[in-house]
Homo-oligomer: A and B are copies of this chain.
């Protein structure tokens, strides 16, 4: 069993992005620009936005966080998005979710110019994945494929089981793995006998959100286990059940710990696995930066 070290892969990609931005800056005099829009006071969202802003700056991306009070109207919010759509220095526009309840999220998001849809949430960009013509992918699935590339994991011919059918993870990764010649089964809350599907899988991508749900007996010997779940646990028993010593020590300091969907005992049967934390998680924000760079490059090509 080999750990797929998302921190390491993420660092490598960040170095590549930094390097490429330097070269492009010399060549064009410009750097990629990312605008992150946040509305309201959701604490978790603020933390995410801050980390995105920080990483962008570190990588040489011109980052711009636009904070709005919850009282802003839909019309004003959309007006701002349209301004960002027109701004030649902005390559990626991201609206931090969730928006406060009064907003129609779909209406807001679909006002982003698809060429600046750095999260890859818009229909035209998701459709390009189905068509196997995409050059941008949602961050989490994109990060998973980068991990495969780094560790030379060829999924062609594998039986892959994706658990979860969201448009953010499940459905795009299913199409992306299909495009890479895996035979993909998409499981979800209405799937009967999930364990039977899992036991046959050479590759499992789990985006369930239940701590340690996938047990040792549900996975095949020699499988690849990719864990997208980030589950917060606060009960001591749960932490001892799911976490390693390092996490337990953290728990004793902080009062909470993080674990994935896949039980640590299942790791033993795997050929490769992504730990939680330190697997898929560190890839996500990095891929946002990578996507910003891709959109920048695409725009430069168009301008030539």
| A binding-site residues for B, Cβ under 8 Å | 106, 122-133, 156-157, 159, 165, 167, 171-172, 174-175, 178, 181, 183-188, 190-192, 197
Q: Is the CB of A183 within 8 A of B178?
A: no
Which of the residues B132, B175, B187 comes within 8 Å of A183, measured between beta carbons?
Answer: B187
Docked pose: A120 CA to B183 CA in angstroms: 25
Docked pose: A157 CA to B190 CA in angstroms: 6
Docked pose: A157 CA to B191 CA in angstroms: 5
Using Cβ atoms and an 8 Å threshold, which residues of chain B touch A191? 157, 183
A1 to chain B, nearest CB (A): 23
Q: Is the CB of B157 within 8 A of A192?
A: yes
- Which 8 A/B pairs are nearest by Cβ-Cβ distance? A123-B127, A127-B127, A126-B127, A181-B190, A124-B124, A185-B185, A183-B191, A123-B124
Q: Is the CB of A183 within 8 A of B183?
A: no
Q: Is the CB of A183 within 8 A of B172?
A: no
Docked pose: A196 CA to B103 CA in angstroms: 47
A109 to chain B, nearest CB (A): 10
Using Cβ atoms and an 8 Å threshold, which residues of chain B touch A178? 165, 171, 186, 188
Q: Which has the most chain B C-beta neighbours within 10 Å: A125, A175, A181?
A: A175
Docked pose: A178 CA to B183 CA in angstroms: 15
Q: Is the CB of B185 within 8 A of A184?
A: yes
Q: Is the CB of B183 within 8 A of A197?
A: yes
Given known A130-B167, A167-B131, contact A156–B125 (CB-CB < 8 A): no
A-B contact pairs, 14 of them (CB 8 A): A123-B124, A123-B130, A124-B127, A131-B167, A157-B190, A157-B191, A157-B192, A159-B192, A165-B178, A171-B175, A174-B174, A174-B186, A181-B188, A183-B186
Docked pose: A206 CA to B138 CA in angstroms: 30
Using Cβ atoms and an 8 Å threshold, which residues of chain B touch A174? 174, 186
Task: Give the nearest-CB partner of A180 in chain B.
Answer: B190
A301 to chain B, nearest CB (A): 16
20 extra A-B contacts, CB within 8 A, seeds A157-B191, A171-B175, A178-B186: A123-B125, A123-B126, A123-B128, A123-B130, A125-B127, A126-B127, A126-B131, A127-B130, A130-B130, A130-B167, A130-B171, A130-B172, A157-B192, A159-B192, A165-B178, A174-B174, A174-B186, A181-B190, A183-B188, A184-B185
Task: Give the nearest-CB partner of A202 in chain B.
Answer: B192
A82 to chain B, nearest CB (A): 19
Q: Is the CB of B188 within 8 A of A186?
A: no
Using Cβ atoms and an 8 Å threshold, which residues of chain B touch A123? 123-128, 130-131, 133
A124 to chain B, nearest CB (A): 4
Q: Is the CB of B181 within 8 A of A183?
A: no
Q: Which has the most chain B C-beta neighbours within 10 Å: A129, A159, A183?
A: A183
Docked pose: A296 CA to B253 CA in angstroms: 62
